[in-house]
Structure 1
Amino acid sequence: MIVLYLILLAVFQAVTEFIPVSSFGHLCVAEQLFGIGHDTGLLIEAMLHLGTAAAIIFLFKKDLKQIGIELLQMFLDVIGNINLFIHNKKTGKHLNYARIVTGTYRKFAALLVISMIPTVCLGLVSSRLAVLAADSSFFPGIGFLITGVLLLVTDLNRSGGTKGPREASYDTAMWIGICQGLAVFPGISRMAFTICAALLCGYSRKFAVRFSVFMSLPAIVGAFFTEVKYFGASEMTIGLGFASVFAMVIAGFVGCFVIRSMLQMTQKTKLRNFAYYSFVAGAVTLAVNFVL
C-alpha cells in the first residue's frame, strides 16, 4: 500500500511543482490523509522534488549547460584577477583586470549565485521547524492562505514590468532568494513567492517564471543532501527506500510530460486564479483539521 501512496504523491508533486500552489503543502496534506509520518525527516519530499528537478534539467539542458560553462569561466576569471592583483602589487604595474560579468548568461548565472545565499542560510536555520510544520495539520492550511494573499495582492496591484536579466540588480536577486528561503514551510509556495517578488521588483512575467524555475535547482539539490542522512535511519527500511526511489523516478517521468503545459499555464494564467485555488485549498485543509 505504501508504494501506491508514494506513486500518488509523485503525481501530486509533478503536477503542482510547476505552478504557484505549493507542492510541498499538497504533499504534507496528502501524507496526513495517507497516514505517512516524518520519521525519516523530509527525505521523501526531497526525493520527489529531486525527481521533478530532473524534468527541469531535461527541458532546459541547453541553457543549463551554458550557465554551467559561464559559471566556470567566471570562476577562472576571478582566479586570474587574483593572480593579476598579486602580480601588480609585486611589480608595481597596473595591468587591467578581466571583466567578470559580461553577457546575458553570465549575468543570469551571477543572479542565481547571489539569490542562493539567503536561501541557503534560511534553509539551514529553519530545517527543523520545517519538519515540525510538515507534521502539523494546521500549518499547511495557513501557508496556503498566505500564498493566496500574496498572489492576489500582486495580481490586483498589476505588478510586473519589462525588465529582464540585463536590467536585473543583485539586491533584488537577494530579495527573491529570501522569498525562496521562506518557502521551506508547507503551504507557502516557493514559486509563488519568487514570482511575486520578481514581479513586484518590475521584472517581466516570462523572466520571473524562468528565474524561479532555475533558482529552484540548487535549492532542491541542497535540500536533498541535507536530508540524505535519513537513509541510515532505522525507520528507512529497504522496502521504503526502494519505494521512495521508484516514486522519485515516477515524479521525474510525469514531470517531463507536464512541465511545458504547467509552465505555460503559470506564464499566461492570471495570478488571482492561483490565489483563489490557494484560498480553497487552505480553507479545506483547515476545515479538515478542525473536523478531525
Structure 2
Amino acid sequence: MNILKAILMGVVQGLTEFLPVSSSGHLGLVKGLFGIDNGSILFDILLHLATLVAICLVFYKDVIKIVIEFLGMCRDVFLNIAAFGKSLSGGRSPEYVRVIRSPYRKFVLMLIISTVPTGIIGIFMKDIVEYTSSNLLVTGICLICTGLILALSDFLPEGDKKLKESGYIDAFAIGTAQGVATLPGLSRSGTTIVAALLCGFDRKFAAKYSFIMSIPAVLGALILELFDIGSESITASDVGCYFVGMLFAAVIGFFALRLIMNLVVSRYFKYFAFYCGAIGIISVIVFFVKK
C-alpha cells in the first residue's frame, strides 16, 4: 500500500459510492486499468465505513431518530413478550403495547424489511460478485445497464409518496433491487432510487430512503468481510495510508451525497446515464483488446 493508491481509492470510493455510477464498477475499472491488485480487505472495509460516516453526517437528524425509535421498538417487543408470558401463568388477558406507533418506527420497520431481501440475495451472489469484481466485460455490461436504468428515471412520472404514504411492499421491492445491485457495474444508489421512483416515491424521499437503507446493508456486508481478513499483516506505513484514504473517502463522499440529493430532484440523471453507457462500452472494448 502506498499513499497515492490510498488517495486514488479514497477519491473513487467517495465520489462513486453516492453518484449513480457504481462504486464497485469504478473500483474494478481502476484496478483493471492501472494494474492495481485487490489489496487489503481491511482497507476496502475502512473505505466503506468512511462513506457510511458521510451518510450519517448528511442525515444525522434522521439517523439519530431511527436509532432511538429502534431501541424503543426493541423495548416494546420485550414488554409484549413479558406480558404474554404473564398471561400464560396468570390466566389474564395480556395488555400489549403498540410497537409501530410513530412515523419513524414505520421507517425502522421498512428498513428492516428492505434489508432482508438484500441480505438473502447478497449471500447467494457473494461468490459471483467476487469472481466478476475485476472482470471488465461484466463490469462494462452492468454499467451499460446502469445507464439504461438512469435514463428511465428522468421519464418517470412525479411520485408523491413520502414516509406516511409508503408501504412495506415498497420497502421489500427496493431492498430486492439493492440486493441485485451488488453486481459490479450496477449502481446501488441509481438502482434503488429508480426502484423507489417506480414505487411512486417522492424524488427527495426516494433518494433519502436509498441512502439510509444502505447503512444496515453495508454494515452487514462489512461484518461478513471481517471473517475474510484472517491474519492480514499491517505495517506502520499502512496505518497512515488507510487513514488518508478514509479521510478522502469521507470528505468527498459528504459533498457527493449533498450534490446527488439536489440532482435527483432536478432530473439530471440522464447525464450520468450517458456517462455510464460510454464507460461501459469502453470497458467492453478494453476487455476484448486486452484479451
In the superposition, the TM-score normalised over structure 1's length comes to: 0.91
| Cα offsets for 1:151-188 (capped at 9, x unmatched) | 223433x2441111112211221111111111112110
Letter of the 2:177 partner, please give it. C
Paired position in structure 1 for 2:115: 116
Three-state SS of the structure 1 residue aligned to 2:38 is: coil
- The 8 Å contact of residues 154 and 267 in structure 2, kept in 1 or not, is answered as no
Task: Give the distance between the partners of 1:272 and 1:261, measured in 2 at CA.
Answer: 15
Question: Structure 1 221/244 Cα, relative in aligned 2: closer, same or farther at 3 Å?
Answer: same
Question: 1:276 and 2:274 equivalent?
Answer: yes
Paired position in structure 2 for 1:170: 168
Question: 1:179 and 2:177 equivalent?
Answer: yes
Structure 2 stretches lacking a partner, 5+ long = none
% identical aligned pairs: 37
Three-state SS of the structure 1 residue aligned to 2:196 is: helix
Task: Give the distance between the partners of 2:208 and 2:272, measured in 1 at CA.
Answer: 18
Paired position in structure 1 for 2:125: 126
- The 8 Å contact of residues 18 and 266 in structure 1, kept in 2 or not, is answered as no
Paired position in structure 1 for 2:147: 148
Question: 1:46 and 2:49 equivalent?
Answer: no
Paired position in structure 2 for 1:37: 37
Letter of the 2:57 partner, please give it. F
Paired position in structure 2 for 1:19: 19
Question: Structure 1 115/128 Cα, relative in aligned 2: closer, same or farther at 3 Å?
Answer: same
Structure 1 stretches lacking a partner, 5+ long = none
Task: Give the distance between the partners of 2:147 and 2:286, measured in 1 at CA.
Answer: 19
Question: Structure 1 151/257 Cα, relative in aligned 2: closer, same or farther at 3 Å?
Answer: closer
Length, aligned pairs only? 289
How much does 1:266 deviate?
A: 3.1
RMSD: 2.1
How much does 1:258 deviate?
A: 3.6
Paired position in structure 2 for 1:246: 244
Question: Structure 1 43/291 Cα, relative in aligned 2: closer, same or farther at 3 Å?
Answer: farther
- The 8 Å contact of residues 204 and 261 in structure 2, kept in 1 or not, is answered as no
In the superposition, the TM-score normalised over structure 2's length comes to: 0.91
Task: Give the distance between the partners of 1:82 and 1:230, measured in 2 at CA.
Answer: 37
| Cα offsets for 1:113-162 (capped at 9, x unmatched) | 11111111222222222111112121110110111122223433x24411
- The 8 Å contact of residues 115 and 175 in structure 2, kept in 1 or not, is answered as yes
